[in-house]
Structure 1
Amino acid sequence: MWNSPAEFFAMGGYALYVWCSFGICAAVFLMEPLAVRVRHKAIVRRLQREIMAEQLDQKGGK
């Protein structure tokens, strides 16, 4: 139990470890959806280029 907010934030002498761990986890949780969105857009663009290339090959081969 903590008797004051200062004791809570000090975390019994482990504040640096606790708050850095919390911060890193929060950053990862925020960055992961952004990274997934970027990868998704890149995959969609690549697939669109492949479809266009196939369509051009089919038109050119006729």
Structure 2
Amino acid sequence: MAFNSLSDFLMMGTHAVYVWSAYGFSALGLIWLVWNTLATRRKTRDTLRKRFLRNRTR
């Protein structure tokens, strides 16, 4: 095993700040991508629905 205890694992030797901040930024980036994709999808769906309803009444 590379680490003797959970605290050794969390400290990652002397690289804990770099390692955990990299995981944090990666997680934030993925969360933002999912949120942005869903928001764009919702806006596009609403725009298309309004356009369809507007053209249907003509």
The normalised TM-score by structure 2 is 0.71
Match of 1:12, SS?
coil
Count of paired positions: 57
Unaligned runs of 5+ in 2: none
Instruction: Find the counterpart in structure 1 of residue 20 from structure 2.
Output: 19
State the distance in 1 between where 2:26 and 2:45 align: 29
**Larger Rg belongs to:** 1
4+ runs deviating over 6 angstroms: none
Quote the RMSD (CA, aligned, Å).
Answer: 1.8
Which structure carries more helix by proportion?
Answer: 1
Instruction: Find the counterpart in structure 2 of residue 36 from structure 1.
Output: 37
Question: Taking every aligned residue pair, what percent have the same amino acid on both sides?
Answer: 21
TM superposition shift of 1:55 = 3.5
